[in-house]
Every structure is written in C-alpha cells, then in structure tokens.
Structure 1
Amino acid sequence: MLLPWVLIAGAAAYGAGAGALLPRPAYRLSVEPDEAWREACPDGHPYADQGRVRAWLGPATCAERATRAGAHGSGRRAFAVPGALVCAGLAAAVGPRPELAVWLLMVPCGLLLSAVDRRVNRLPDVLTLPLAAGAAALLGLAALLPGAEGSWGRALGGGAVLAGAYFVLFVISPRAVGFGDVKLALALGVALGWYGWDVLFVGAFLGFLVGAVYGVALILTRRAGRGTALAFGPFMVLGALAGVALGGLAA
C-alpha cells in the first residue's frame, strides 16, 4: 500500500520542481508573432550571460531583483503549485504504468504553452511540434514495455483525427481557432487516443465545454465581448489532462 503514495509524492515533487523552472521560458516566449524571443530580463540583463541552460530555465527576473522585490518565490509558485497538483493527480489516476512517465514529461510543456497562450494568444511552434513528436515517440517506447495499457497505433490515429478536426474549425473560423491550436491538437490527440476513442472524444469535449463556460462568464460579467479573442490553448490542455486521467482510471 505504500507504493502508490510514494509514486504520488514523487510525481508531485517532480511537478513542483519542473514548474519552478518555467517562469523564464514563459516570459521569453510571450511575445507577438513578429517579434523575436526576449533576450534579456526585465532589468535588461542578457540571459545569454548566464549560460545556455540557465538562459532558458528559472525565474524570469534576475536573482538580485527577484530577491529585492519578493518575486522570486511567487513567480515560481505560479507554475510549481499547479505542476505538483497535476502530476500528483495523474500519478494517482494512472498508477505505475509506463505511460505515466510520458504524461509527466508532457505536463511542463502543457503548462508553459497555456501560460504563453494566455498572455499573448500564441502557441509557439518551438513547443507544439516537438511536443507532438516527443509524445508519439515516447508512447511508442512505452507500448513495448510490460504493463502498458494503451495502443500506440490508436494514439497516432488520435493525433491525426483531433488535428484534422481542429483544422476544419480553423478553415471555417480562423478567428475562433488558430493554426497553433491545430498543432497543439496533434500532440493532445496522441495522448488522448492512447486510451481509446471515447477518451479522445471526452477530452476534446471537456476542453470546448470549459472554454465555452469561461467565455460566457466573461461576457456576463462584462469583462469581454462577443468578438473578444480568447486563448483556447489552456482549455485544450485542461480537457486533455482530464481525459487522460479518466482514461488512466478506466484502464
């Protein structure tokens, strides 16, 4: 009985640690499509001076400024807390199956994409495309290991189906669905398709449902109008996380 709790605690610790590294890439990538990634912190100090790894991971601000302003811990907690909760929830739902490692690796990227999309309505290719390729490759490896509860072929099909559906929506209404959403759907479809077509449908539907409820709430509270563009990526990720968790429980 101790193993599940150890697994959950380990997943939570991993999620908190990975989340604490995300404020800097979220800040650097949150720019308009025609702008280059931010190369310096809010104080103007170049990130390149801190080395290749530290240039992309850690707090958005320099350590000195963050310590003075008290933003060092709060910025990291904004990602660390949801990272810990999501990873712990996935571990509890999926258990010690090989595919759990894939879901845990996808969580930081999902959080990062959600943050960037929420800030500038953009899902960068530098994140969406590697996420799709990595999910497909890693699930292919997971399928070879004992204890895996899913289908790699169905996962690939799920990615194609969900991306195709979003592409149709993009063609019909490019203001409502961006092409970045289509690319993100490819990765999320791979994850959802792993557990079954019903899980794919549920995960996609939950994303639309939560997004619609949020949009209606903004309109009713007069914080947005009917023509206001909303970032849909966070709702896609949220729906996919719920779908994967439900698929893991059912499996």
Structure 2
Amino acid sequence: MAVQVVVAAVLGLLVGSFLNVVVHRVPRGESVVRPPSRCPDCGQEIRARHNVPVLGWLVLRGRCAACGRRISVRYPLVELGTAVLFTLLALRFGLPDLPAFLYFGAIGIALALIDLDCRRLPDAIVLPSYPVLAALLTASAWWRDDWWSLARAGIGGAALFAFYLVLALVHPAGMGFGDVKLAGLLGGVLGYLSWTALLLGAFGGFLLGAVAGVVVLAAGKGGRKTALPFGPFMIAGALLAIFFADPLGQAYLRLTGLA
C-alpha cells in the first residue's frame, strides 16, 4: 500500500503538469503535444529543468526565466492538487479499480478548470472518456469476476444521462448539453461503486451548486440570475460520493436499525 501511495503521488505531480497544458490548450483547439511548453507572454520555450512540477515554479520564484513575467500560482496548485487527489484515491482503492478512478480524477480536474475558465466541457475530453472508462472498468470487473458492478455502471450511466437530458430539455437555460454528456460518465463511475454512490453523487452536485449560489448572493457577487458553471459541482459531488458513500450508507443503516 505504501508503495502504491507514493507512486500515485508522484504520478499525480506529473499528470498535474500535463493537465495544465490540457486546460490551456484544449479550449483553444490546440495540440497538447506540440509545441513544447512555452511562456504565454514571451513565447520562450520552457527549459526541462524549469518544467519539473512545483519545484520548477519555486526555483523560478513564480517568474519566467526569459522575460521575468509572473507565472500564475495556479500551475503548481494544479500539480499539488492532482497529487493529493491521486494519493487519496490510492488510499481508497487498490488494484484493479485504481486506474479507472485515477483517470476519472484527472479528467475531472481538467474539466472543472476548463468549465470555470470558459463555461465549456469540451467533447475532446468528455467523449473519448466513455470508451476509456468503459475499458478500464471492464478490465477491473473481469479481474474481480464482478460483472454485476459493470452492469450497474451501465445502468447508472444511462440513468444519469437520461435524467440530465430531461432537465436540459425542460430548462435549457439552466442546463447545457455538456453537463448531460458529463452526467453519463459520472453515472457510470458512481454506479460501478454502488447505488448509494450513484444517488449521493447525483444529488451532491445540486446541493453544492445551491450552497455556492447562496454564498455568491450573500457576498454580493451576483444575483439570482447569475449563471455558475455546473460542471465543477457535478465533479465535486461525484468525488464526495467516491470517498464518503460507503461510510454514509453504513451510518444510515445503523441509524434506521437495518445494519
């Protein structure tokens, strides 16, 4: 377990560095492979030693080595955040489930940041994630000989997709089709875990969104018609379900005397 956690943390730093590129380039329709990372101000290519996650930013004191312009603190925070999430997932899951949830965590971070920046959930990330997660969850189910979990993932993905589709059709101003497509992914991942995770994750996003709306109103940063990107709340609700559905479900059973 200790080795798994350390490997996940290091992998999280590396993946977080790549996610910074994804978040910057995918909304612009640019390749995430070429050209190499460059300073957004002067265009100078970033040297390999300065591209080490977190440490590179610290060594440069948050400034470009070529032009001296400030480099946003968000870059190392994304790298650290991804490492923390990967570490928590490695503590939560073992093989063979871990790869699927690490992948989900990575795209979740990328999609949440892009939605916050651009109010978009790019198909270039969401749609390929369907076959990738399907393959990873199928491999996990095969390894554990647990085909019911895989069937539940399919049911959960279809159900949450349909639920969000109805919401988007009934109230298109409040729900985009990007949210609908993301909902299918969330339903599949959460359904694979349990019905409890599916329900908690499905409604957790709405609860978190409502709380954020109240905070925005209370802080005077917007009104009742202020639109907030919903993708980050959907992803946060799903992550909460991944980590807390089991203990909450057990607490509910004990409370009702069913345990």
Question: Above 0.5 in TM-score?
Answer: yes
State the alpha-carbon separation in 2 of the partners of residues 156 and 220 from structure 1: 40
Counterpart of 1:165, as a letter, is F
Unaligned stretches of 5+ in structure 1? 48-53
* Residue aligning to 1:134: 132
Please give the TM-score of this superposition, normalised by the length of structure 2.
Answer: 0.78
* Residue aligning to 2:205: 207
1:177 aligns with 2:169: no
Shift of 1:145: 0.7
State the alpha-carbon separation in 2 of the partners of residues 175 and 16 from structure 1: 37
1:105-149 Cα offsets, whole Å, 9 max, x none, are 222211111110001110010111111221112101111113869
Alignment of 1:65-144 (within 5 A): 66-67=64-65, 68-71=68-71, 74-94=73-93, 96-144=94-142
**Greater RCO, CA 8 A, separation 6+:** 1
The runs of at least 4 consecutive aligned structure 1 residues that moved more than 4 Å come to 36-41, 44-47, 147-150, 247-251
Sequence identity percentage: 35
* Residue aligning to 2:16: 19
Unaligned stretches of 5+ in structure 2? 46-50, 251-259
Secondary structure of 1:102's match? helix
Correspondent of 1:194 among 192, 195, 214 = 192
Verify the 8 A CA contact 1:132 1:184 in the aligned structure 2.
no
State the alpha-carbon separation in 2 of the partners of residues 149 and 30 from structure 1: 37
Please give the TM-score of this superposition, normalised by the length of structure 1.
Answer: 0.81
State the alpha-carbon separation in 2 of the partners of residues 202 and 77 from structure 1: 31
The higher radius of gyration belongs to 2
Q: How well do the aligned residues superpose, as a CA RMSD in angstroms?
A: 2.9
Verify the 8 A CA contact 1:150 1:195 in the aligned structure 2.
no
1:68-116 Cα offsets, whole Å, 9 max, x none, are 33527x343121111111111112122x231111101222211111110
* Number of residue pairs aligned between Structure 1 and Structure 2: 229
State the alpha-carbon separation in 1 of the partners of residues 238 and 229 from structure 2: 16
Shift of 1:154: 0.7
